[in-house]
Structure 1
Amino acid sequence: MLRVHSIESLGTYDGPGIRLIVFLQGCNFKCSYCANVDTIPLVGGDLMQIEDIVAMAINQKPFFGKKGGVTISGGEPLLQAKELIPLFKRLREENINTCIDTNGSVFNDSVKELLEYTDLVLLDIKHINEKDHVKITSKKNQPTLELAEYLKSKGKRTWLRYVLVPTLTDNEEDLNKLGKHFENFSNIEKLEIQPYHSLGVHKYEHMGLNYTLKDIKKNTPEQLNKAQNILEQYFKNIIVN
């Protein structure tokens, strides 16, 4: 069984094609710009049977086309890697594309086995510098970088994702460092720049939490273009979501 926060049908932003997106409950990061702070607690959500999710995927399979499928997001889905293995095995039996959207901070034998049945990894890079990564997430970035190396060694299809937060993750030096770190990863098909937004602030208020980035404004077109131009030096495909 999986601890599920919510499910979205006909999603178009979390992997290729049209997808069924399952958001799992629980995350080990506390990102300062998190838009789904209600997914962070390890308790809560609904327990769902694997076959119930498979049935939903089969029901929506006609909409998937050649590229679509199922994306498991969160929260941090790899916290439930062991439980995801039988789901991904079943989806592969049904010839349904599988995708994991992860911060890359969990890496164990269950994750390795799960990746054998995973068609695509969306790897969220919060910050390339450890000190700033800790500031943003409360955790070091070493596990994420180690998982990235493993994905490279296995040739696992990977899309990088990077939230561009003004004054926090848009420093020119850091963007170049990010690009140089990953430029020779042949398994990385593209990097998605995700503009900063504060659409989840109301969740903080509802949960009685303090949102620390209240004074940060959304990206200007100039800021997005600058970041894209820098990163295009290192990646063959840059998308601004």
Structure 2
Amino acid sequence: MRGVQAAGPAESTFDKDFEAPERRTVGAGTEGLAISGASHGDRLTQMREGTLGSIHSWELVTAVDGPGTRMTVFFAGCPLRCLYCHNPDTFKMKDGESVTSDELLRRIRRYRALFRATGGGLTISGGEVLMQPAFAATILKGAKAEGIHTTIDTSGYLGASCTDEMLENIDLVLLDVKSGDEATYKKVTGRELQPTLDFGRRLAAKDIEIWLRFVLVPGLTDDVENVEKVAQYAATLSSVSRVEVLPFHQMGLDKWKTLGLKYELADAEPPSKELLERVRDQFRSKGLTVY
């Protein structure tokens, strides 16, 4: 039914993940946004209504999170625990800052002229944007009403939480397909692969443009057959306009240490140029445009 949030995995974890913590970690990079002073109970109500969200940070970037210069907003909260995540401080919604939809849209509107001049727009990332589907829907609808190009960066794991109405307000999806092999996907993320595959097919059926992203980690995701499965899947999605093979890096290591989390890839090296080219060639062999 249009306008009704679909039941999805996020619903069962929402209240638990947003319980009021004894100590709150101040979200980095929320400068310029007024923080809501609503009580814990009011915050939960407003988040369900889509008028309040938990924000980790925002920034202006060029040619990274979609075309042109973009305002990228990082939501707090993610159901995945990717071994190579470079933003582990976005794992929990309670560690973000409470920002109203009106406040965030006010900030977004400030950059309309910049978006028009560069062919840019708004990108919602995370964490996982679909961990807060009602708030995401409000922001996307508000941005589209201003004529702003919209993008979401998602693993697709919570794709069931994305309504058809929300999809109507999305121009581009950066779909992170972590692996093509079920066992490897489980090892990388702690979750199942199928929801991501289903969401990608749903996007393609609605002809929503997809930039498919794949993080290449030597010794973890670089197996020829694993890459081949991702490439074969990408080739079945008619709306994939490009594939981005992203080389693994150690930029998140310090954050993991600061948070007291065990980082299992501390000894992993970035992929060699030869490995990177081999993987890109696997995607190119399927007729895909690769970056």
The answer to whether residue 124 in structure 2 is matched with residue 42 in structure 1 is no
Distance between the aligned counterparts of 2:185 and 2:287, measured in 1? 22
Partner of 1:53: 104
What's the CA shift for 1:107?
2.6
What's the CA shift for 1:26?
0.3
Q: 1:125 to 1:226 in 2, by over 3 A?
A: same
Partner of 2:270: 218
What's the CA shift for 1:111?
3.4
Q: 1:97 to 1:78 in 2, by over 3 A?
A: same
Cα shift readout 1:110-131 (whole Å, capped 9, x = no counterpart): 4332111111011000111111
The answer to whether the 8 A contact 1:4-1:45 is kept is yes
Counterpart secondary structure, 1:51: helix
Distance between the aligned counterparts of 1:101 and 1:207, measured in 2? 24
Q: 1:22 to 1:217 in 2, by over 3 A?
A: same
The answer to whether residue 223 in structure 2 is matched with residue 171 in structure 1 is yes
Distance between the aligned counterparts of 2:107 and 2:187, measured in 1? 39
The answer to whether the 8 A contact 2:69-2:118 is kept is no
Counterpart among 155, 158, 162 of residue 106 in structure 1: 158
Cα shift readout 1:20-49 (whole Å, capped 9, x = no counterpart): 000000000000000000001131211111
Partner of 2:128: 76
Q: 1:235 to 1:14 in 2, by over 3 A?
A: farther
Partner of 2:177: 125
The answer to whether the 8 A contact 1:82-1:114 is kept is no
Unaligned segments of structure 1, at least 5 residues: none
Distance between the aligned counterparts of 2:164 and 2:245, measured in 1? 27
What's the CA shift for 1:167?
1.0
Unaligned segments of structure 2, at least 5 residues: 1-51
Alignment of 1:1-241 (within 5 A): 1-64=52-115, 65=117, 67-108=119-160, 110-239=162-291
Cα shift readout 1:168-213 (whole Å, capped 9, x = no counterpart): 1111122122212221321110110111001110011111111101
The answer to whether the 8 A contact 1:130-1:141 is kept is yes
> Residue type matched to 1:37 in 2?
P
- Name the % identity: 34
Higher mean C-alpha deviation, range 14-23 or range 229-238 = 229-238
Aligned length: 239
The answer to whether the 8 A contact 1:191-1:235 is kept is no
Cα shift readout 1:58-97 (whole Å, capped 9, x = no counterpart): 2112222252000000000011111121211111111001
Higher mean C-alpha deviation, range 195-204 or range 56-65 = 56-65
Distance between the aligned counterparts of 1:110 and 1:184, measured in 2? 21
Instruction: Give runs of ≥4 in structure 1 deviating > 2 Å.
Output: 107-113
The answer to whether the 8 A contact 1:179-1:235 is kept is no
Distance between the aligned counterparts of 1:34 and 1:77, measured in 2? 15
> Residue type matched to 2:214 in 1?
Y
The answer to whether the 8 A contact 1:77-1:101 is kept is yes
Q: TM-score, normalised by structure 2?
A: 0.79
> Residue type matched to 2:150 in 1?
T
Distance between the aligned counterparts of 2:158 and 2:61, measured in 1? 28
> Residue type matched to 1:78 in 2?
L
Coordinate RMSD, CA, aligned: 1.3
Distance between the aligned counterparts of 2:162 and 2:192, measured in 1? 21
Q: TM-score, normalised by structure 1?
A: 0.95
> Residue type matched to 1:170 in 2?
D
